[in-house]
Amino acid sequence: MQTDSLTRREIGVFDSGVGGFTVLRELRALLPSARLRYLADTAYAPYGNRSPEDIRARSTAITEHLIEQGAELIVIACNTATAHAIEALRARWPALPFVGTEPGIKPAVAATRNGCIGLLATPATAASARLRALIERHAGASEVVVQGCPGIVDHIEAGDLDSTELRALVAHHCEPLRAAGVDTALLGCTHYPLIEPLWQAALGPGVTLLHIETAVARRAADLWAPGPESPALHIETSGDPAALRAWVERVLGWHEPKVQRWPAAL
């Protein structure tokens, strides 16, 4: 029984949809021998349009499932879920390590040349008290222009990474940052690096883009003690497994993992 428990040790990773694959990609590179389980809550994506109560409820149900499957470390690969749920999850499971995903205000302050930073985020992250506290704690004298970006995640979830409509939407959301004269911009959603060239084109070549996925994966790797488990990757979704598998194959080029339906519903 103890051996079975050891071999089932996993790192659980979740996001509202496909954005967290940017974190999972880094985790696979850093921890090639680890058992990883990723849950995409695509039936409820995007979280950025949902209430804090809904986000906490979904995050709690997902965490319960990941723990049942053997997760001994949870990576919340979603800025919005981190902003609205991580404290509640830590309070419910105080002995379980959680790694959240938050905009890197400190690295942006270090990178900016003119003291004007842009933050592109989901509406829920942009409106969160946790983000306001993060800015107050780390921004110092720098100005942070926060821009909520409704609609972006919907395009990415649908596999649209470069349409004319998406480019126009990205340009629209970037206009306040351009008007403010930002020289550094944070991609405050794990979905957003999947269309990084579009953000760069809209903001201009003089704006430095920063995102946080590698740092999140490194933090998880620091907390993970490798054991006797065999490497594995399990992918689950609350939505359509065939659609998610097609997305994974086309965008990430991963052909080996199966995608299973997570049956739990609230």
Contact 46, 154 (CB under 8 A): yes
Is 190 annotated as ligand-binding?
yes
Catalytic residue among 78, 116, 149, 174: 78
DSSP state of 242: H
Is 47 annotated as ligand-binding?
yes
Our answer to whether residue 116 is catalytic in this structure is no
Is 51 annotated as ligand-binding?
no
In the sheet with 116-121, reading across from the earlier edge strand, the strands are 143-148, 116-121, 184-188, 208-210
Is 49 annotated as ligand-binding?
no
Is 22 annotated as ligand-binding?
no
Our answer to whether residue 78 is catalytic in this structure is yes
Is 191 annotated as ligand-binding?
yes
β-pairing, 208-210 vs 259-261, is: unpaired
Contact 117, 185 (CB under 8 A): yes
Residue with tokens 């981190």: 82
Residues with Cβ within 8 Å of residue 145, at least 6 apart in sequence: 116, 117, 118, 119, 176, 177, 180, 182
Dihedrals phi, psi of 114, to nearest 5 degrees: -110, 5
- In b/e form, how buried is each residue of 67-100, taking b as 16+ CB within 10 angstroms? eeebbbbbbbbbbbbbbbbbebbeeeeeebebbb
Contact 89, 59 (CB under 8 A): yes
Is 80 annotated as ligand-binding?
yes
Annotated binding site for substrate: 15-16, 47-48, 79-80, 190-191
Catalytic (active-site) positions: 78, 189
Annotated binding site: 15-16, 47-48, 79-80, 190-191
